Structure 1
Amino acid sequence: MGAQWKAKHKEVAANAKGKIFGKLSKEIMVAARNGADPAMNPRLRLAVEQAKKASMPRDTLERAIKKGAGLLDGGVNFEKVTYEGFAPHRVPIIVECLTDNVNRTISSMRVLFRKGQLGASG
Structure 2
Amino acid sequence: MINVVIGGQLNKQQIEKQIMELGGSDVNVSVKSDLDAVMALKNKQADYYVGACETGSGGALAMALALIGSDSCVSIATPSTIMEKEQIEEAVKDGKVAFGFTATSSKNVIDMLIPILLKK
Give the TM-score of the pair, scaled to structure 1.
0.28
Indicate the structure with greater strand content.
2
By relative contact order (CA 8 Å, sep 6+), the higher-ranking structure is: 2
